[in-house]
Structure 1
Amino acid sequence: MSVTTIIEAIIILNTVLAFITVFREKRDIAATWAWMLVLVLLPVVGFVAYAFIGRKLPKGRMFLLQHQVAMQLDERLQQQRQKLGKQIMPADRISHSVINMVNMFMATDQAFLARQNKVQVITDGHELFQLMMTDIEQATSSVHIEFYTFYNDQIGNDMLDLLVKKAQAGVEVRVIYDPWGSMGTWKRFFNPLMAAGGHVEPFLGTRSAVVDFRLNFRDHRKIVTVDGQVGYVGGFNIGDQYLGRKKKFGYWRDTHLRLMGSGVFALQARFMLDWNATDKDHPFDDQRIDPRYFPLTTVKGETSLQIVSSGPDSDLQQIKMGYMRMIQTAQRRLWIQTPYLIPDDSVLDSLRIAAMAGIDVRIMIPDKADHPFVYRATQYYARQLADDGVKIYYYHNGFIHAKTMVVDGQLASVGSANLDYRSFKLNFEINAFIYDAQIATQLENIFKIDMTHSERITPEMFAQQSAYLKFKQTASRLLSPIL
């Protein structure tokens, strides 16, 4: 048998196996053909890549507490409303289209409308960690932390030392981290915390990023709850780069929220569900949730919001649906900040329709890459959207990592989800959708400040890019469904 015949046989067998491998699992057509491209063009190597990042997530182990937590939340929310008394809130006066959005989240994610929250918008890492560590220092009952990245660096060790101190003082400390996002932070890094009585687990019990055959499904959420009374959600992780200490990125521009009020109940519930899906040795009681995790509060803020989570455990893509609803709701302004701009066709068309309808659509992205292929794909879609009338801004003052969307100074979203395939379908994400004109206006003003450090890239400027750069952008775009 000649070498040519052997090669031809391998190619045919590889192609047949590629079809069988990809089409046996339900997935959208873009991801299907992207994987076909990888498997056919990269024999053997493509199958190794698929083994690690291509297979879908088994859903049977996810969220064993969901029904019990939902029942407890209903009970505690009724008690909370009775404690605070009835009050007409801004969410009761918002437009019909936004009421429909509230109902959508209730139907798809059991995301209750949390009223009367106090919300603080934070855009600087130094301010965020000072506030967060002060809150943790004052904890008397529990500290629950879930981050995509928990690095073994200066701020990571500072946080670890504080958590050890609280655990030694008898505070319940639980930490979930993503081993891929925290690459270089081994489980032994947390030994002092576990020795002090704290509990630490990699998400879904994955012990090592090296042997994790579900690499594509990452816990990208950022959640902190302190005594069930103070919560944090947004784009920052725990690492020195988020404090501007990495020369590669320079100043780190991100957006995070500090919450007080019933919105913290939703963050706490999300953490508990993720914990019980991750740690079978020290789970939360699935018969009766301790009420200390959902303490009644006297906080009377002015912000109504919903905490919405999404991930590969559901086909609904709840946060993406929220983004699309916001885009469709816009009448005058739609301002977006995202480090990764790789929308699927439905979101891309929604943005195009909004721009062509005369809505002021602005999207701010970084002017530098942290992931080369992802950044070239981002540039590709930025170029396409600029041609359709979307105003594209490159942020020059360091690296912008914020994931925000603001509509008409009335409605906003802040969270962990980027405007890309990965956040829509592959990552476990969490966002706060905010129904408060004051917070939305504040986020618009922050966008305006960021514009002073940005440059608008016009269609003419995109057209002047080199043919080689455009080729890299187009090539990266072909792999966008699996980046």
Structure 2
Amino acid sequence: MQQTVILTLLDLISLKGIFSFGYVLFVLITIGVIIHDKRDPVKALSWIVVLILLPVAGFLLYIVFGRNHRKEKLFNRKELHDLEQIDEMSREQVYAINNAALLLRSEITENRDIITLLLNSNKALLTNHNRIRVLNNGTVTFDEIKAALRGARSSIHLEYYIIEDDPLGREIAEILIGKAREGVEVRLIYDDVGSWGLSRRYIRHLRNAGVEVQCFMRVVFPWLTSKVNYRNHRKILVVDGHIGFTGGINIAQRYLTGTKMGPWRDTHLKLEGEAVRMLQIVFMTDWYFVSKQQLTDHAKYLPPTTVRDECLVQIATSGPDSDWASIMQAFFAAITRAQHHIYISSPYFTPNEAVLTAIKVAALSGIDVRIMIPSRSDSKIVYWASRSYIGELIDANVKVYLYRKGFNHSKLIMIDGVFASVGTANMDMRSFEDNFEVSAIIYDRRITEELEEQFLEDLSRCRLVTREYWETRPVLHNIYEAVARLFSPLL
């Protein structure tokens, strides 16, 4: 009996040793893969620390969240004939911008480097004939959206990260159902993680009425999948190919009525003109990815515009399907060439080292840099991670403001009154590297100055973080910030 027990214990020890050796081997192989990816050293080291400190769980977390899909290519946009044409047009526009005398307008000469960068890295065509209305809250935004939807005659294309089955979500659904029954083509893409709570009944109700509904990269739990980490964070609506919307606002009641944090402050855009064609192409590309259906009727989906107003806009996208982190690169380029001021509003502020350094160098060089972040957040770990950057920003003469009248979800950059970005990308690593994002890059003094005026008005609802205030915060806050900062490359 005793001999049997001893043999059993030896067998268990042997199995444990084999398991331990196997796990160590897996960790070493995974570390090798991380190093071979040649990714951001900070992010790479963060994952290595997680793998070492969290046995088994660290490996599973890496499988779900850590793989580099920019190299693996989730899908290839060059499959689409439409985008092959855009590729050719972008090459022609790069040549024109660098050679044509007719493009010597100040808005172009002052931003030529960024325009060319986005043409080369993102095939983002520069559009001229556009009309833009800035929408500064959910009420105004959804009044415009509902009016545009009700006026649709040909097609409605929606693509949202979050759609909720709440009063607003149901009202939008009823409008879509009514238009589909009138014969309007209605297509909807929702993100499976962002719209996790969207009921099957809601989707079935739409489909039964003739609305084409597709889910972006479905995630089925409890089976772990890397798809959970690469989400479609875009907010796009295109009506009849003539009216477009994009910005920070999803389809959910809280964008109208606020949350327990208070009123919801956000910024959205209504666009008419050539830029709407570019938004439509983004939707058409994403629709192909989720449905394998090409929308080839260009006369219907990409009609010519009658808008003659002049407002220079590039619709820039980024995501793990692209060779370049185009939106991040545009932000970096714009920050490094600032001459007078930089205004940034971001609900989640965890920038990568390149953008953080650019911001600090600009401020140390005498540029007026102001960053607005929420004083409260809907994500605790991101909240503490964002705060972890405040001390070094203050040291570099950056003015940091905490928005106190509710929750400011606006994602904005305005520089020198001549450059603005309004879109879905936060100033964080997830938006830069992992999520599918879209931003309207605007080279227009009137629109940029309007955005800057609203930003400066929002500062009256903020608290400026002084050195005295920061140094007297509770010690426990410092600990929270330090721990959250360790995970910021993974958030």
Inter-CA distance 254–383: structure 2 relative to 1 (3 Å threshold): same
Output the amino acid matched with 1:375.
Y
Output the amino acid matched with 2:307.
V
2:54 alignment counterpart: 42
Shift in Å, 1:289: 4.2
Contact 1:174–1:200, Cα closer than 8 Å, also in 2: yes
Q: Structure 2: how far apart are the matches of 1:4 and 1:265?
A: 65
Q: Does 1:198 align with 2:211?
A: yes
Output the amino acid matched with 1:144.
H
SS of 2:305's equivalent? coil
Q: Structure 2: how far apart are the matches of 1:211 and 1:289?
A: 39
Contact 1:209–1:215, Cα closer than 8 Å, also in 2: no
Inter-CA distance 138–210: structure 2 relative to 1 (3 Å threshold): farther
SS of 1:197's equivalent? coil
- Decide which of 175, 196, 220 is 1:162's aligned counterpart: 175
Q: Does 1:252 align with 2:246?
A: no
Shift in Å, 1:182: 1.1
2:458 alignment counterpart: 450
Q: Does 1:110 align with 2:120?
A: no
1:23 alignment counterpart: 32
Inter-CA distance 208–60: structure 2 relative to 1 (3 Å threshold): closer
Q: Tell me the alpha carbon deviations over residues 327-350 of structure 1, each in whole angstroms, 9 at most, x when there is no partner.
A: 012111100000111111111110
Shift in Å, 1:75: 8.1
Q: Structure 1: how far apart are the matches of 2:316 and 2:353?
A: 22
1:397 alignment counterpart: 405
Q: Structure 1: how far apart are the matches of 2:206 and 2:400?
A: 45
Which structure: larger Rg?
Answer: 2
Q: Structure 2: how far apart are the matches of 1:212 and 1:158?
A: 34
2:75 alignment counterpart: 61
Cα-Cα RMSD: 2.5
1:429 alignment counterpart: 437
SS of 2:388's equivalent? helix
Q: Structure 2: how far apart are the matches of 1:368 and 1:7?
A: 46
- Decide which of 356, 372, 394 is 1:386's aligned counterpart: 394
Output the amino acid matched with 1:475.
V
- The more displaced of 11-20 and 456-465 is 11-20
- Decide which of 289, 294, 309 is 2:302's aligned counterpart: 294
Output the amino acid matched with 2:208.
A
Contact 1:225–1:268, Cα closer than 8 Å, also in 2: yes
- Decide which of 14, 20, 26 is 2:23's aligned counterpart: 14
Inter-CA distance 131–303: structure 2 relative to 1 (3 Å threshold): same
What 5-or-longer segments of structure 1 have no aligned partner?
79-86
Contact 1:341–1:382, Cα closer than 8 Å, also in 2: no
SS of 2:229's equivalent? coil
- Decide which of 139, 144, 153 is 1:131's aligned counterpart: 144
Contact 2:318–2:327, Cα closer than 8 Å, also in 1: yes
Q: Structure 2: how far apart are the matches of 1:47 and 1:72?
A: 41
Q: Does 1:336 align with 2:350?
A: no
Shift in Å, 1:48: 2.6
Inter-CA distance 466–72: structure 2 relative to 1 (3 Å threshold): closer
Q: Structure 2: how far apart are the matches of 1:376 and 1:75?
A: 44
Output the amino acid matched with 1:135.
A
Q: Does 1:316 align with 2:328?
A: no
Shift in Å, 1:409: 1.1
The runs of at least 4 consecutive aligned structure 1 residues that moved more than 6 Å come to: 2-9, 72-76
Shift in Å, 1:230: 0.3
Q: Tell me the alpha carbon deviations over residues 250-278 of structure 1, each in whole angstroms, 9 at most, x when there is no partner.
A: 21111111000000011000001111111
Contact 1:113–1:305, Cα closer than 8 Å, also in 2: yes
Q: Structure 1: how far apart are the matches of 2:89 and 2:152?
A: 25
Q: Structure 2: how far apart are the matches of 1:48 and 1:385?
A: 34
Contact 1:180–1:209, Cα closer than 8 Å, also in 2: no
Shift in Å, 1:202: 1.1
1:469 alignment counterpart: 477
**Matched residue count:** 468
Output the amino acid matched with 1:481.
P
Contact 1:72–1:289, Cα closer than 8 Å, also in 2: no
Q: Structure 1: how far apart are the matches of 2:397 and 2:14?
A: 53
Q: Tell me the alpha carbon deviations over residues 208-234 of structure 1, each in whole angstroms, 9 at most, x when there is no partner.
A: 465461211011011110000000111
Q: Tell me the alpha carbon deviations over residues 25-83 of structure 1, each in whole angstroms, 9 at most, x when there is no partner.
A: 5232222221222222221222232332223334253436544245279789x9xxxxx
1:284 alignment counterpart: 294
Contact 1:254–1:400, Cα closer than 8 Å, also in 2: yes
- The more displaced of 341-350 and 27-36 is 27-36
Inter-CA distance 331–7: structure 2 relative to 1 (3 Å threshold): farther
Q: Structure 2: how far apart are the matches of 1:217 and 1:240?
A: 25
Inter-CA distance 246–106: structure 2 relative to 1 (3 Å threshold): same
Q: Tell me the alpha carbon deviations over residues 97-121 of structure 1, each in whole angstroms, 9 at most, x when there is no partner.
A: 5112111111111111110200000
Larger relative helix fraction: 2
Shift in Å, 1:241: 1.4
1:84 alignment counterpart: none
Contact 2:219–2:228, Cα closer than 8 Å, also in 1: no
SS of 1:418's equivalent? coil
Q: Structure 2: how far apart are the matches of 1:333 and 1:175?
A: 39
2:95 alignment counterpart: none
Q: TM-score, normalised by structure 1?
A: 0.91
Q: Structure 2: how far apart are the matches of 1:346 and 1:371?
A: 24
Contact 2:77–2:83, Cα closer than 8 Å, also in 1: no
Inter-CA distance 72–105: structure 2 relative to 1 (3 Å threshold): closer
- The more displaced of 310-319 and 257-266 is 310-319
Inter-CA distance 14–200: structure 2 relative to 1 (3 Å threshold): same
Output the amino acid matched with 1:143.
I
1:406 alignment counterpart: 414
Q: Structure 2: how far apart are the matches of 1:378 and 1:60?
A: 29
What 5-or-longer segments of structure 2 have no aligned partner?
1-8, 93-100
Inter-CA distance 414–212: structure 2 relative to 1 (3 Å threshold): farther
Contact 1:240–1:246, Cα closer than 8 Å, also in 2: no
Inter-CA distance 279–298: structure 2 relative to 1 (3 Å threshold): same
Q: Tell me the alpha carbon deviations over residues 349-376 of structure 1, each in whole angstroms, 9 at most, x when there is no partner.
A: 1001000001000000000121111111
SS of 1:342's equivalent? coil
1:238 alignment counterpart: 251
- The more displaced of 347-356 and 460-469 is 460-469
- The more displaced of 52-61 and 344-353 is 52-61
